[in-house]
Amino acid sequence: MYKNSVAAIVGLLLVLPAAGWTQAVKQAAPAPVDPTTFAAARYDQGQKLERSGDWTGAMQAYTEAAENGHGPAQKRLGDIYNNGQGDVKRDYDTSLRWYKRAQEQGEQIPQPFTYPGVRQR
């Protein structure tokens, strides 16, 4: 029985074309993902997660999008850290860093305002 099994396997190897195996492997490999497309998709996911109240998921999605150069995600992170929204504590330094990166991408960033009689540092 062992000899028949070996013969069957060898026969299959001879019959199956080698190019077919190589082509099947090439087709199975995922196509490279465009960072811009990925970032836009993650930003959209972040908005949906934020609307559903999943701040942890939303922050992860926004951060991934922002780190891939997505201006609206960078601006959104600036807003979140500026206002201390969801589970995120207010952090002006982090907010300013995200706003600066968003501005470099061409996003319109709100200008700081002052009240009369209040000194700016």
Domain count, the chain: 1
Handedness of CA 51, 56, 59, 62 (dihedral sign): negative
* Total residue count of the chain as it appears in this document: 121
pLDDT tens track for 92-116: 999 999 999 999 999 998 776 555 5
Query: Does some domain include residue 114?
Result: no
Confidence (pTM): 0.68
Read off the CATH number of the domain in which 49 is found. 1.25.40
Query: Does some domain include residue 94?
Result: yes
Q: Which domain holds residue 90?
A: 35-104
Closest to 48 in 3D by CA, of 67, 76, 84: 76
pLDDT tens track for 33-53: 788 899 999 999 999 999 999
